[in-house]
Chains A and B, each alone.
Chain A
Amino acid sequence: MIAQAPAASCPTAGTVTTVVIGAGHAGLAMSRCLTERSIDHVVLERGEVANSWKRERWDSLRLLTPNWQSRLPGHRYAGADPDGFMTMTEVVGFIDGYAAAIAAPVQTGTTVVSVREADGGYRVGTDRGEWRCRTLVIASGAFNLPVVPRCATEVPASIATLTARDYRNPDQLPPGGALVVGASATGAQLADEIHRSGRPVTLAVGEHVRMPRTYRGRDIQWWMDAAGVSDQRYDQVDAIDRARRVASPQLSGTPERATLDLNTLSAAGVTLAGKVAGIVGGKVQFSGSLRNNCALADLKLGRLLDAFDGWARETGISDEVGLSQRFEPTRVAESPRLSLDLTSGEISSIVWATGFRPDYSWLDVPVLDRKGRIRHDGGVVRDAPGMYVMGLPFLRRRKSSFIHGAGDDARELSIHLATHLDDCSTRLAVGVSG
């Protein structure tokens, strides 16, 4: 049920009630909810379904969430390995299968180039004609463009540099040492893989989130889910702005269900250094804050596990899970290194795993704040009636940016969207009769 693309010369592609931008898990979940409400819509996709998963991630990446957790409205994992973690090929297959199962009206190969307000709705310009709609759902992803610190321009030309978006496997890197910058899930995984390839890795570590893969015999995501942490709402936490900026937890989805934290990395021989503070005269300077960033992460993990233990006691399931445990504090060298001379030959490459940001270069409606982020309340875009955003970290719930987080958000936002359409119709009717 893929909509036929109009000819490239066609100036007007169509008029629909809702345009959804992006055919990833979030856009498709919304499509399904709109279909249930009989709201006619089109899902515009620049590439193919699940494009970022297919083209913009490294080869060895697997989902951070176990298979049983891969669920979308009206669809769930039905394979033989519920505790496993999908490879990117499997994720693409899962999302492709979902698009087909819900008969989503996806128009692939269509890049949105502009979005403007018009007549109480929006005009969505694409490279294949213009769509008009009354409501718009932006589901184009939170992780489109790599973010690299400003000092990256000071790296000498002799050093090969890659961002996490362009990294595929260690073979892209020259032989020799590598500096991996950033210790979120991405940085920790790349540091591990690059180090295993025989390239000695230094990992620059700023604020990070430490998590064991399993706790008391269950996957950490099971705990997050069961104890209600994943479901915490954006309007129930202090300082939502900061909660939305927290880096992804140091997790990895491997068949062994192995924990990937700074202790396992340093035991494997990875050198830990502080956050990259600057590059001056060919030397990388590392912050002296490594010890405190590790202490913060250890304390935060302790509080999370305390909460899980408390929940297990209260619900009376303590006997069904393993024994309570605490993990060794992160080991930090007596004097972590403070600089690295990029001209010394010690390293030959730098991989920037310093985060991603959404790309809104096509959005011509003034809804961004001074940092380029969409101003929204739980996905309802401020000052733009009928415009919604999905799939951003902690959009409505802590799980919002995960695959299993899209369902609840899509259901609630589709209700809001439908109410908005009703209100518009009522106003129109009143206007005509009066």
Chain B
Amino acid sequence: MKTETTMMVDNGVNVEALLGAREALTETPEAARFQWRATCDWVNGTHSRSTVEGFYGLGDEQRHREAFTFNADHPEIFASEDHGATPVEYVLVGLAGCLTAGIASVAQNRGIQLHSVTATLEGGMDIQGILGMDRDVRNGFDDIRVSFEIDADASKEDIEALVAQSQKRSAVFDIVTNPTNVSVVVK
């Protein structure tokens, strides 16, 4: 019965491959060690261009199908030229992408057909922090709100459970909710 339902559901996620990978990595936990990378070149003003292409995982060097580039800048009200999203907006993009991928995967695994998933993200920030005006104000977001609108063949509770589970397993949710040691060096 469960198998039939699962076969009819297609969210474009290969759950068998993911579950197979988890099984394989239980035997070889060292292959689970990944390293994600980005390079970034300053262009002009607050405009920079980042590239991601190579990464490490499954015990070997890996590559994306192509190099992806991202322009980061600030809007004109910051006296910038607005060649791209602000870095903090990329954080929202990362969180949205991670949670949405998680929802699709969990839905597939639970046999839930998705029709549409739309996330709206808001990150609150007091820029007195980055402007150095008030030491009590932090630089980053003081609050992130994510709101999902999901059309799926499932009850409200099941959809809420999808969203909760995707947060529980999300790398970016973990990155933004928990501290990480960051070392920045000059070569």
Contacts and interface: CB of A to CB of B under 8 A. Distances in A.
A93 interface: no
Interface in B173-187: 173-174, 176-179
B179 A285 contact: yes
B179 A288 contact: no
Interface in B141-187: 142-144, 157, 160-161, 164-165, 167-168, 173-174, 176-179
A52 interface: no
B20 interface: no
Interface residues of A, number: 17
A39 interface: no
A92 B170 CA distance: 44
Nearest to A290: B177
A296 B157 CA distance: 11
B143 A335 contact: yes
SS of A interface (majority):
mixed
Contacts of B161: 299, 303
A368 B157 CA distance: 39
Nearest to B162: A299
B29 interface: yes
B168 to A, nearest CB: 6
A173 to B, nearest CB: 27
Q: Which of A285, A289, A303 is most buried by chain B, counting CB atoms within 10 A of its CB?
A: A289
A274 B177 contact: yes
Contacts of B177: 274, 277, 287-289
A288 B173 CA distance: 9
Contact of A299 (B143, B144, B160): B160
Contacts of B176: 288
A277 B178 contact: yes
Contacts of A370: 29
B186 to A, nearest CB: 23
A358 interface: no
Interface in A353-378: 370
A289 B169 CA distance: 12
Q: Which of B161, B164, B174, B176 is most buried by chain A, counting CB atoms within 10 A of its CB?
A: B164
Nearest to A369: B26
Q: Which of A207, A292, A302 is most buried by chain B, counting CB atoms within 10 A of its CB?
A: A292
A238 to B, nearest CB: 10
A323 B162 CA distance: 29
B29 A296 contact: no
A277 B157 CA distance: 29
A295 interface: yes
A249 interface: no
A292 B167 contact: yes
Interface string B57-96: 0000000000000000000000000000000000000000
Contacts of A292: 164, 167-168, 173
Q: Which of A274, A278, A280, A288 is most buried by chain B, counting CB atoms within 10 A of its CB?
A: A288
B179 A296 contact: no
Nearest to A280: B179
B121 to A, nearest CB: 14
A280 B142 CA distance: 19
Contacts of B167: 289, 292
Interface string A188-228: 00000000000000000001000000000000000000000
A285 B168 CA distance: 19
A292 B148 CA distance: 14
Contacts of A288: 144, 176-178
Q: Which of A287, A299, A303 is most buried by chain B, counting CB atoms within 10 A of its CB?
A: A299
A236 to B, nearest CB: 14
B106 to A, nearest CB: 12
A277 B176 CA distance: 12
B178 A278 contact: yes
Contact of B178 (A287, A295, A296, A303): A287
Contacts of B178: 277-278, 285, 287-289
Nearest to B163: A295
Contacts of A274: 177
A336 to B, nearest CB: 11
Interface in A309-340: 335
A274 B177 CA distance: 9
Interface string A267-281: 000000010011010
B22 to A, nearest CB: 9
B179 A277 contact: yes
A111 B30 CA distance: 37
A377 to B, nearest CB: 15
A299 B164 contact: yes
A102 B186 CA distance: 72
Contacts of A302: 157
A274 B179 CA distance: 13
A296 B173 contact: no
12 contacts: A207-B168, A277-B178, A277-B179, A280-B179, A285-B178, A288-B144, A288-B178, A289-B178, A292-B164, A292-B167, A302-B157, A370-B29
Which 5 pairs of residues, A with B, have the shortest CB-CB distance?
A288-B177, A277-B178, A292-B167, A289-B177, A296-B164
Given A288-B144, A292-B167, 11 more contacts: A277-B177, A277-B178, A278-B178, A288-B176, A288-B177, A289-B174, A292-B164, A292-B173, A299-B160, A299-B164, A303-B161
